[in-house]
Chains A and B, each alone.
Chain A
Amino acid sequence: MTAITLPSSSNVSAPPSETASDSPLLAVDELRVAYGRRVAVDAVSFSVHAGEIFGLLGPNGAGKTSTLSAIEGLIIPERGTIRVAGIDVQERPLDARANLGVQLQATSFQKDLTVTEIVRLYGGLYGIVLNADGARGVLAAIDLSACAGMKAGQLSGGQLQRLSLATATLHDPPLLLLDEPTTGLDPQSRRRFWSKIETMRDSGRAILLTTHSMEEAHAVCDRVSIIDRGRIIVTGPPQAIVDSNKDRPEVRAAARRPDVTLEDVFIGLTGAGAITT
């Protein structure tokens, strides 16, 4: 599978905030992750800059979560380097993680802790001492004041997602990693969530996310990479990717309407273009 290069005459491959910062907040270079003999991620390189929302898109098993796990330091890559805010993740993992806010695919907190206790725990882990008033303030900001004494297991999906985002951003990290953050959320919760993420982007944070929703990716991401079978096959702003691939036969075959969408390009490029209806 060969990587698709976008036209050099356009500014599509340049991160939108290039002018705002000199170096990326996340730099992944030639990353390779393997589980035994199975290679999950191979030669993956990309960067995310301050003030940018970057989407990592791919079918199930394409290597998105493995890439995120390597950035989070949960798995040790076989090859390649990862720098968070200029800090090598393998050389100084704890310092690197101090600059990360993470929302995992499955939100998991200790089931016997209340919402307030969870907020205070995660504050403490990032060096933020929150007293009861401080924790109340955090919960008020995410509209969870009424749930302060509830256990995490009693929260709805939307409430849990808000709590998860709050614990990920308590320390105001420069880089936020979100693994399929809106899965299972209702439209209102999704809209509130993206609004918050865009606010964070506008305040100079870098956001790397994975999602299966091409519509959401197109709407909120400044740039996306499509990853398939462990390799990045295209990177650029969503509309530029659509424009530069819309005439490819496999994309045309995947398109259900005259206007080609990011989803059509995604399906066409990731090998599911043979699907016909």
Chain B
Amino acid sequence: MTPATSMARRAPIAVAPPRAGIWRALLRAEFIVQWHQRRSLVMTVLVPITFLLAWKDLIPTVGSHAVLAICIAVGLPAMGLMGFSQTIARDREKGVFQRLRTTPTPTSAIMGSRILVQLVVTMFMTLCTYAVANVVDGIAVGAVGVALVVVAALVGGMSFLALGLCVVALVKSAEAVSAVGRLIYLPLAVVGGLAEAGLLGPVVKNVARWSPIGTTKLLLLAAMSPTSLDLHAAIALVATLGYGLLFATIGVRSFRWSVA
């Protein structure tokens, strides 16, 4: 044993660093992670674009704006349920959050930075989808329309991120989160898309219209025609926010930072 010296100097006592610096460090790291995962980012962007190209024939039936709105709406839960939730579940399982929580970082910043980066990705995905729709199908909504579509996509995106958080909160293992995410996403996307075309009957069409994807689609559709905003759009906004609030409440209350 080496005896401790009685001349030991005591280290200075610190206080927690400013929040701005912490947010900057977390956001920087998150954007770097997104860059390193750019193949997965491309896949995320390809989801609505693939639907857009596949559902091209629906344009004469339901209208070009409606098809674009459905495609963006179908792309949003892919991020929340398959990208965001799986990353959170994996990092939780690996103990990444526990390590971050031992630093003077508020837990709200740890989760908030991840959500913020996902919202930036949402914005990117929406703009890419619109660009393809504009070039390939000649769909145009004007500058104000594009801005409102992005806002609508962010509102819808937040509700699906909240749904993703809800899944991670209620399911422990990363593997199970992945399975549950796909299980929820597929019916959401398929029913949400096919029901709009009336292929699954009027009852399913009505149910799908007020599902999370349905209300997001209504919101996006309304954003594309800002001059004709109506009660339906307002109800869709309230419903989308309501879904987001419900999922977020369950998610935040049930979420655990570690699986141990």
Q: Which residues of A contact B (CB under 8 A)?
A: 16-17, 19-21, 25, 50-53, 72-74, 85-87, 94-95, 97-100, 102, 104, 106-113, 117, 120-127, 129, 171-174, 198, 201-205, 218-222, 237-239
Other CB < 8 Å A-B pairs besides A127-B17, A198-B2, 17 of them?
A17-B4, A17-B5, A17-B6, A73-B102, A87-B13, A97-B102, A97-B103, A98-B16, A104-B95, A109-B99, A124-B25, A124-B26, A126-B17, A173-B11, A204-B8, A219-B1, A238-B1
Chain B residues within 8 Å of chain A by Cβ, number: 44
Also in contact, A124 and B11, with CB within 8 A (given A104-B102, A220-B2): no
**Total contacts A-B at CB 8 Å:** 158
- B22 close to A (CB within 8 Å): yes
CB distance from B54 to the nearest CB of A (A): 31
Bound CA span A78–B18, Å:
30
Point out the residues of chain B lying under 8 angstroms from A104, CB to CB. Answer: 95, 98-99, 102
Q: Which residues of B contact A (CB under 8 A)?
A: 1-18, 21-22, 24-26, 28-29, 32-33, 36-37, 91, 94-96, 98-106, 257-258
Partner of B25, one of A85, A125, A239: A125
Instruction: Check B8–A112 contact: CB distance below 8 A.
Output: no
Also in contact, A113 and B29, with CB within 8 A (given A74-B101, A94-B104): yes
Residue of B37, B99, B106 with highest tally of chain A CB at under 10 A: B99
Point out the residues of chain A lying under 8 angstroms from B8, CB to CB. Answer: 17, 20-21, 50-51, 201-204
Point out the residues of chain A lying under 8 angstroms from B105, CB to CB. Answer: 94, 125
A sample of 13 cross-chain residue pairs with beta-carbon separation below 8 angstroms, ordered by A number, consists of A16-B4, A50-B9, A86-B13, A100-B102, A102-B99, A110-B29, A113-B36, A121-B25, A122-B103, A123-B25, A202-B4, A222-B1, A222-B3
